Chain A
Amino acid sequence: MALAFDEYGRPFIILKEQEQKTRLSGLEAQKANISAGRAVSRILRTSLGPKGMDKMLQSPDGDVTITNDGATILEQMDVDNQIAKLMVELSRSQDYEIGDGTTGVVVMAGALLEQAERLLERGIHPIRIAEGYEMASRIAVEHLERIAQKFDFGPTNIEPLVQTCMTTLSSKIVNRCKRALAEISVKAVLSVADLERKDVNLDLIKVEGKVGGKLEDTELIYGITVDKDMSHPQMPKQIEDAKIAILTCPFEPPKPKTKHKVDIDTVEKFQTLRQQEQKYFDDMVQKCKDVGATLVICQWGFDDEANHLLMHQNLPAVRWVGGVELELIAIATGGRIVPRFQELTPEKLGRAGLVREKSFGTTKDKMLYIEHCANSRAVTIFIRGGNKMMIEETKRSIHDALCVARNLIRNNFIVYGGGAAEISCSIAVEAAADKYPGVKQYAIRAFADALDAVPVALAENSGLQPIETLSAVKSQQIKENNPHFGIDCNDVGTNDMCEQNVFETLIGKQQQILLATQVVKMILKIDDVISPSDY
């Protein structure tokens, strides 16, 4: 530990309880940070690409998660190191912003750190490295824009979108039926997309899963599913042209907020109270009936009596529906959420073409499907799968695919996947490096080397010779001046990603490069780590 001494040799106490803290500074601190960052990226490295492996994570409570999704792995890893936490943040922000490429961004940051370490050893100042990286990232992003291609699609021509989603899904465990899932995701996104504003509200897409069946049974429902059943076992299981009253008030006598007491001291009072109570129930049910509702969906429970009255009036009802679901139902059916019975009017009812109850398997699991809604802007993706882990993983994969589709709608430029974009950028950055005088040149060149890390990892994971493959592809790109060549992970026989239909979104790639550079810069700038030592 670096200590300051006065002229008599006594140490100065600078930090509070200095002896109990460990302190790393200067090059040592940077190296420690870099190695922590690289340790995280090393974990994710094998998950990259279509032949990437999964990680099994056991949570503090003993639940098992098996996943391939970078953001999920890091989230659940429960890291302790501060720098490692930064990497986790990095992958999370890629997840929030883009939704896909969470593994790639960490791998790239790791590679940048690795290169930086070498430069540091040669005595280059970290700030210089950071500046060089910044410059190089700008070059790469601009180059991406140049090689990006515009992708035309419309509500009828969804094929390009499907292809891009398939690239995303091919690295997940669901790649067995990636085509079907990609189609489902694209259709879901398109049905909620606002093509004019180029915006997609992913909240309108609900992803539900139920254990059982096959992955192939996964379906897109133009409507809502609710994990509830009719409140009374003998209510009809199927309602056509339903008019839905969406209530947030219980079918119970009112409970005023102010404290009150009703004193009963005579028989008459007792009887009037009784009649009053009956009237309440009658009124409530009658009101729903009067406005012409054929289905009542309620956030709260009903009393037995209310339940029977509803049944009696031939008014099916669902109780204990959650707030979020209630909102989605309201959006989908075009109804309004009604907080009081008095405010129930025919205009506030939601409409759906078909409401049905469906049961699954040998257990008595039932779900309510609300389909053909007035406003079909809310959709549900209903996932089936062999076990819970599979469903959770499918949910994550679908989420990635949805995000990709959304990004394409926002910005319909794509670059080629399979490492092609990275290799092309690397060539461009390398070429640009020579134009910069001074120390930065080294940093820019290091950036170019770091860009190669993604295709190398891809090749490694696919069981190819990494260096051989990369150099072959690189020379091919330069020779033919065509940025479409990438790593042939699936052993198809061609390097041309255009033919293999492997696409990624432009903004996703750009974001990856920018985010990775940012984090690396941040890590490089740290030159002092002060932490409480472990006793």
Chain B
Amino acid sequence: MAIEKILKDDASEEKGERARMASFVGAIAITDLVKTTLGPKGMDKILQSTGRGNEVTVTNDGATILKSLHIDNPAAKVLIDISKVQDDEVGDGTTSVVVLAGELLREAEKLVAAKIHPMTIISGYRMAAECARNALLQRVVDNKENAEKFKSDLMKIAMTTLSSKILSQDKEHFAQLAVDAVMRLKGSTNLEAIQIIKKPGGSLKDSFLDEGFILDKKIGLGQPKRIENAKILVANTAMDTDKVKIYGARVRVDSMSKVAEIEGAEKEKMREKVKKILGHGINCFVNRQLIYNFPEELFADAGILAIEHADFDGIERLALVTGGEIASTFDNPESVKLGHCKLIEEIMIGEDKLIHFSGVEMGQACTIVLRGASHHVLDEAERSLHDALCVLSQTVNDTRVLLGGGWPEMVMAKEVDELARKTPGKKSHAIEAFSHALVAIPTIIADNAGLDSADLVAKLRAEHHKEGCNAGIDVISGSVGDMAELGISEAFKVKQAVLLSATEAAEMILRVDEIITCAPRKREDRM
């Protein structure tokens, strides 16, 4: 009997084996795509946008690569989604999570081919993931009590994160930058307070962390270029023409002289406003909106530094660092909190003039100035630094630390293997497969570095059968090395997130036995 057609014309339906096949192929293709970027010797990708200008991005960051891809395969979309979430949640490990999920599916494919039901595989994977997590939990190092040691942990984590990025040449320098910046946040995860300014020119090494705050703006004409003991009023108010907001108001006059009068009144209004602002006893005024020439002139006359058009983020950060509040009305000078800083001056970075606030009251915010040869380098540097900052800020809250370089994967694989031996039934195959997938990560790291992965991983596995071993892959010398000595560390939170979300995603894809693709919505031609 012919199966009655129940879906729309262009819709397609794939069932059972074929559906599973389609999702495996899609997921594994995505994995293979980002696989080569993993590890310290991972390669970069060039992404060319299809938009106007065909902009080019060179990157090593998994999330950035995947975000820019236009994918049609639904399973691949699931993987892209987890990488995005990993980016939002912990900031780093975006490649690892996709690779692990892909490897889990690759192993699952073999099991399905060997006639093991997907549900059995899933329950095996779940057990294995739980066991792997416990294995990590047992081996974590927590240096919360010892500030000195903790700082060196942070430093190591930053260096490990950065070593796979474009900044690897100067990783010590940047790791120091990132650690300093994050330590200033004092436990908050609000990375908004760290401002990154990119200025082309110079070399990456010239990048620096500034304790104070740098605003990418110019000082108004005729106003002081340097103020000591500044009292700052941060404002968000219209300083162009202060419009009357009552609806329907308009000016209708019958002679030129009236126009002049009203203009005068307007000017008077502005003058009054400026006077009120001056009444706060300030010597620096920062506004989010434009300041027209007339009030600017008034400020200059009063010897006050006025900065216009500071963007929204800038103004919030400035309010944060100087401890002032963002004001919009100026009638009660006594109750508005002013911001303070020791010194405001104009500085030059490259060819640009920037305004530098130093000696600020609250040390939370800071600015990192990145220098580099080209925009591409700077963009990539920013992404790398962002990763490092994210990981560090998360580590400050969750101080548990692991070793890196494939060490955690080997530890997990060992435990999971043992679990597989203990578990009766078909699940044991799935658990074993999980451990294979875990081992795939150090294998890929070694492969990317051009090393003999089979040999290295076998050696590593042998090392790991000794109690309390710290062995991992030392990519630089191309051998198995002691990760504790080499100072390669990773944050526990990142590893845990990688493990859990990769398992979750693999599970989700495995559970699917049918893909129904609806007819694509027809675009209407508006020509």
Contact = CB atoms under 8 A, between A and B. Distances in A.
A215 to B, nearest CB: 8
Interface in A240-271: 252-256, 259-267, 270-271
B280 to A, nearest CB: 13
A227 B87 CA distance: 21
Contact of B515 (A55, A212, A265, A267): A55
Contacts of B11: 78
Contacts of B5: 80-81
Contacts of A46: 513-514
A53 B249 contact: no
Contacts of B216: none
Interface string B9-35: 101010000010001000000000000
B64 to A, nearest CB: 15
Nearest to A233: B316
Contacts of A57: 515-518
Interface residues of B, number: 88
B326 A263 contact: no
A338 interface: no
A61 B505 CA distance: 22
B526 interface: no
A211 B189 contact: no
B89 A212 contact: yes
Contacts of A43: 13, 514, 516
Contacts of B126: 176
B37 interface: no
B521 A386 contact: no
Interface in B368-398: 390, 393-394
B210 to A, nearest CB: 22
Contacts of A266: 258, 261-262
Nearest to B261: A267
Given A46-B513, A312-B329, A364-B190, A80 B6 contact: yes
A271 B268 CA distance: 10
Interface residues of A, number: 84
A467 interface: no
Interface in A202-224: 211-215
Interface majority SS (helix, strand, loop, mixed), chain A: mixed
Contact of A60 (B2, B319, B507, B518): B518
Contact of B246 (A66, A83, A276): A276
Contacts of A214: 500
Given A36-B4, A362-B89, A58 B515 contact: yes
Interface stretch (B54-62, B73-81, B140-148): B73-81
Nearest to A85: B6
Contacts of B191: 362
Interface in B225-282: 236-238, 244-254, 258, 261-262, 264-266, 269
B252 A265 contact: yes
B4 A304 contact: no
Contacts, number: 235
Given A55-B516, A304-B236, A387-B78, A312 B335 contact: yes
Nearest to A462: B119
A58 B518 contact: yes
A256 B516 CA distance: 53
Contacts of A215: 504
A525 B249 CA distance: 70
Contact of B252 (A253, A264, A267): A264
Contacts of A83: 4
A59 B119 CA distance: 26
A53 B518 contact: no
B90 interface: yes
Contacts of A77: 7, 516, 518
B512 A234 contact: no
Given A81-B5, A308-B326, A263 B519 contact: no
Contacts of A232: 326
Interface in B479-510: 500-501, 504-505, 507-508
Interface string B75-119: 101100110110111110000000000000000000000000111
Closest 10 pairs (CB-CB, A-B) = A308-B328, A53-B513, A60-B521, A84-B6, A36-B4, A54-B511, A81-B6, A262-B249, A58-B517, A387-B81
Interface of B: 1-9, 11, 13, 19, 23, 72, 74-75, 77-78, 81-82, 84-85, 87-91, 117-120, 126, 189-192, 236-238, 244-254, 258, 261-262, 264-266, 269, 316, 319-320, 325-329, 332, 335-336, 390, 393-394, 500-501, 504-505, 507-508, 511-521
Interface of A: 31-32, 35-36, 39-40, 43, 46, 51, 53-62, 64, 66, 68, 73, 76-81, 83-84, 173, 176, 211-215, 232-234, 252-256, 259-267, 270-271, 273-274, 276-277, 280-281, 303-305, 307-309, 311-312, 359, 361-364, 385-390, 462-463
10 contacts: A35-B2, A39-B4, A56-B23, A56-B75, A78-B8, A78-B518, A79-B8, A232-B326, A270-B251, A312-B336
Given A234-B319, A266-B262, A362-B88, 8 more contacts: A39-B4, A46-B514, A77-B516, A261-B250, A264-B252, A270-B265, A362-B390, A462-B119
